[in-house]
A and B are shown apart, each in its own frame.
Chain A
């Protein structure tokens, strides 16, 4: 008994150290990585300023394809943001113990992708200077305003959801940061103290935290579902062939969960490797997450079937015109690669236990994430190129679309912004919820103790029986 307890305390200490280690030093590679990211972000910013000065005309968008890479990326980023909710909230609610080491990175991914996902439509505005008109003259009847409201709600919610379980960890960081000689350390101390909001770990504080976490866990799930449903509505509320679909809400939610949970696996793999968390994020975690992604991919595949097979069976005039282009026309290569390569192939790989090992699963998830991004593009662009009225006698660049350097630069700038925030976060804050992992260890320990007690009692019973006999 005594021995076990000692082990537990030691192990908890080890967890604390393992989690805090990355925040202690900024390695050379981190600096180079951040440097590269900042260069890309600066280039993106330059491209955006160029776009601000000369208008959206510097992009490849024209009057038929009036939405392009920016809006596709918006939908993709918002999709990725579903990861945090799924892993964190759903696994929390279902009391899945194995969730503990991966909740923090999942919630962070939600926070960052929402932050940049929310910026994308503003970048896409012709008049970003008038963005406040949305508040001054906002019409609740417009799907765009639903987006604004639900994304802002979700962003606030997921920020709280990320922050709440960080409070005890912030107190830990505060208490462990003793030597504050440099100005940087002083800044960190102040930051941790501020973010810990006076956490001392009293019973009342724990009780309050747990109550609020339970409420947030329940609230955040419907909010997350509503966000991607509403994102789909900016397309589904139009009369356009390919968008005018009643299945778009669930289709987008499924697509979001499929890409978002794959994003979580990628985050797990990267942080496990970089921050030496192999002990905590184990092959078992990958196997279990792989099963979840498999289930979500199956749901997504099922909704793909509904989205394309139902209109394809009927081939109504305008829908048929779009579908012919997707199935056999100029988009057929991309379309079938997406369906077979990023939906069917991952299903096959993840169905095999070996496919859920760390390396094959991570590669599969890279494929899924990139595939989800391209899929958004294939949802947005071909529909715009297949309007009801024929495209006749227009300037050549109106009737085709491929993003140009401005759009790529701005988008890549935003993507590197995501990586910058994630990197900085991981350098300031522990990437695992220390107290949650601790709690997990305690529960595991208690379980083992109880098991041993039970065994002991049984043994005693048996020996008693033996003596009686």
Chain B
């Protein structure tokens, strides 16, 4: 894969990357990565541009010859194997989370998600009457003992060597057994024809990015493996303004947040009594939480709900104050 000459900030999102990560035209075809797949529908004004081929040489060419594209996603086979030598891990410092949902926003922007699907969702939690409320952002936990991949009848959802659990929507038959099996309600189903632009719909599919979506298949948080291959952070991590989310490699024992602060994972978990959600289910999540001790924000208002999305109608059903 192509490595960007990275002057971009860590907050750079993919949409910008798509526009910048453009490469070469017809004459350069052979040496260039990711060229024919994604055509921009927009008309270009023809100007001269300087581009770099995959072997590092600079060329000047007319923009007529250029096609806008992203890095070509890896093959299905590669996407099923995962990145060698890695064990990805995420840590949420709940003391810093103020429930702003910027993580959800950046995730949805990167994955062209419809607003009702929150691959990472921020819950307002209150474990019991007497304990303090707090915000809990919840992505997919990419469990090491994943209940979802176990039950898949066609191996459409699978666990990779780098710990990531992905879905292949070209194979998924839409039985939703994985959704029934996931105890964290992390999976979403494309009930109808997906709402996506022609640009997205025409992209080359890879299980590593989750789009273009297909009707009748399951989707969920994927830890942004396409970004990881480029040496970048998942969207939620770089999108978090509160530095709540740390991401890294357990093999390196290091995690980094959006400000670029890198910490020793084992030390972080030990010093802050890190834990995993619903540990007693034995799913072995790859996502850790640091308890909301000495919160740096106002506590969530358990009685207030967000405007346009309606709270479910049974009052009994809100387990915010029942969980764990």
Contact = CB atoms under 8 A, between A and B. Distances in A.
A74 to B, nearest CB: 11
Range, interface on chain A: 35 or more
Contacts of B283: 239
A126 B173 contact: yes
B175 A144 contact: yes
Interface in A382-403: 384-396, 398-400
Contact of B323 (A121, A237, A385, A390): A390
Contacts of A134: 153-154, 173
Closest A-B pairs by Cβ, 8 of them:
A126-B174, A126-B216, A399-B312, A57-B192, A57-B191, A144-B153, A396-B310, A142-B153
Interface stretch (B179-187, B200-208, B287-295): B179-187
B125 interface: yes
Interface string A112-142: 0000000001001111101101101111011
B177 A392 contact: no
Interface in B38-60: none
A245 B175 CA distance: 22
A238 B181 contact: yes
A13 to B, nearest CB: 54
Interface in B260-302: 278, 281, 283
Nearest to B218: A126
Most buried by B among A121, A128, A239: A239
Contacts of B218: 126
B153 A400 contact: no
B76 to A, nearest CB: 12
Contact of B183 (A63, A67, A239, A384): A239
B309 A131 contact: no
Interface in B112-132: 116-117, 121, 123-125
B116 A395 contact: yes
Contact of B322 (A55, A136, A321, A399): A321
A324 B316 contact: yes
A126 B183 contact: no
A64 interface: yes
Contacts of A243: 180
Which residue among A59, A143, A234, A392 has the maximum number of chain B CB atoms within 10 Å of its CB?
Answer: A392
Given A139-B153, A317-B322, A395-B310, A67 B192 contact: no
Secondary structure of the A side of the interface? loop
B317 A386 contact: yes
A391 B305 CA distance: 12
Interface in A39-96: 54-59, 61-64, 66-67
Nearest to B115: A395
Interface string A368-394: 000000000000000011111111111
A329 interface: yes
A394 B316 contact: no
B212 to A, nearest CB: 15
A127 B147 CA distance: 22
Nearest to A58: B192
B190 A394 contact: no
Nearest to A330: B314
B16 interface: no
Interface string B149-165: 01111111000000000
Given A61-B191, A317-B322, A321-B319, A398 B312 contact: yes
Contacts of A321: 316, 319, 322
Contacts of B151: 142-144, 234, 237-238
Given A239-B147, A239-B283, 15 more contacts: A55-B192, A56-B174, A67-B176, A125-B216, A127-B174, A128-B173, A131-B173, A137-B171, A239-B281, A240-B180, A325-B317, A387-B183, A390-B323, A392-B318, A395-B310
Given A55-B190, A387-B183, A392-B123, A325 B316 contact: yes
Contacts of B305: 392-393
B123 A144 contact: no
A238 B175 contact: no
B217 interface: yes
Given A55-B215, A392-B320, A399-B313, A139 B155 contact: yes
Nearest to A63: B188
Given A55-B193, A55-B215, A389-B138, A142 B278 contact: no
Contacts of B187: 63
A177 interface: no
Contacts of A144: 151, 153, 175, 177
A390 B320 CA distance: 5
B6 interface: no
A390 B154 contact: no
Contact of A141 (B150, B176, B181, B191): B150
Given A57-B192, A324-B316, A389 B281 contact: no
Contacts, number: 195
B317 A399 contact: yes
Quick one: which of B150, B151, B175 has the most chain A CB within 10 A? B175
Nearest to B216: A126
B216 A66 contact: no
B185 A388 contact: yes
Nearest to B306: A393
A63 B278 CA distance: 21
Contacts of B138: 389
A396 B281 contact: no
B4 interface: no
Contacts of A238: 147, 151, 180-181, 183
Nearest to B313: A400
A145 interface: yes
B79 interface: no
6 contacts: A55-B191, A58-B192, A321-B319, A388-B319, A390-B123, A400-B312
Interface in A222-249: 234-235, 237-240, 243
Contacts of A384: 180
B252 interface: no
* Residue from B138, B309, B316, B317 whose CB has the most chain A CB atoms within 10 Å: B317
Contacts of B12: none
B183 A388 contact: yes
A383 B176 CA distance: 15
A186 to B, nearest CB: 44
B180 A66 contact: yes
B309 A127 contact: no
A126 B311 contact: no
Contacts of B323: 317, 388-390
A145 B175 CA distance: 11
B172 A393 contact: no
